Amino acid sequence: MESLIGKKAPVFSTDAVINGGEFVENFSLEQYIGKKEVIFFFYPLDFTFVCPTELLAFQAKLEEFEKRNVAVVGCSVDSKFSHWAWLNTDKNDGGIKGVKYPLVADLSKTIAENFGVLAGEYDFTEEGEATFVGAPVAYRGTFLIDKEGVIRHCVVNDLPLGRSIHETLIMVDALQFFEANGEVCPAGWSKGDDGMTATSDGVAEYLTSH
């Protein structure tokens, strides 16, 4: 997968479900440029096993993201109707009722492909028929996009491996700390810790004090 770090996030405009059940057309991340950072995350499919734990975990921490002026947006290759049905299914029945952030519909799989997280690829048989090799779903990709629309952090998990929302929050804090203070964040950094100046002296000073 070619890295998108430091590059503008791929542009798209598609159907989405917002506020737990409202259909919208032409949903785009460009609405956040100049206003908010964005956590844009991919998951394989609606109505599965690991995926609801992740989406509900993002919802449980949504207030923390909103405090940081960060939008959370999910995406899978399901239709807007599948998203709507899942959003209106109780948690005890495998649903994600109560999730309020937008869910993007990527039926064509082009968004996942452009972000480099599609778990397979299109090909042709010897007879010239189009086919799909691999899993026609997205890996568990998480992208932190800054207010200029640039991807600053991403992590991609294989299908069986659920992601850490706590780690995602730390990356948001690290980016905002750097932008506010001009100091970089060392290994194991979390909100409230000291940063480092981007010089050899700064590194030495940090290592000596820790």
User: At residue 126, does pLDDT exceed 80?
Assistant: yes
Active site residue ranges: 51
Prediction pTM value? 0.90
- Please give the single-letter amino acid code of residue 99: V
User: At residue 198, does pLDDT exceed 70?
Assistant: no
Q: Radius of gyration (Cα) for the chain, nearest Å?
A: 19
* Domains of the chain, start order: 14-163 (3.40.30.10), 164-210 (no CATH)
* Phi then psi dihedrals of residue 70, to 5 deg: -120, 130
Query: What confidence score (pLDDT) does residue 41 get?
Result: 98
Higher-pLDDT residue of 49 and 19 is: 19
Taking the C-alpha atoms of residue 6 and residue 3, their distance in angstroms, rounded to an integer, is 9
Number of residues that make up the chain: 210
Greatest CA span in the chain, whole angstroms?
A: 67
Look at 19-28, 176-185, 200-209 and tell me which has the smallest mean pLDDT. Answer: 200-209
Taking the C-alpha atoms of residue 208 and residue 34, their distance in angstroms, rounded to an integer, is 39
Taking the C-alpha atoms of residue 142 and residue 164, their distance in angstroms, rounded to an integer, is 10
Three-state DSSP class for residue 139: coil
Q: Which of 107-116, 121-130, 180-189 has the highest mean pLDDT?
A: 107-116
107-128: average pLDDT = 91
Taking the C-alpha atoms of residue 120 and residue 109, their distance in angstroms, rounded to an integer, is 10
Query: What confidence score (pLDDT) does residue 199 get?
Result: 62
Tokens of 73: 């947006």
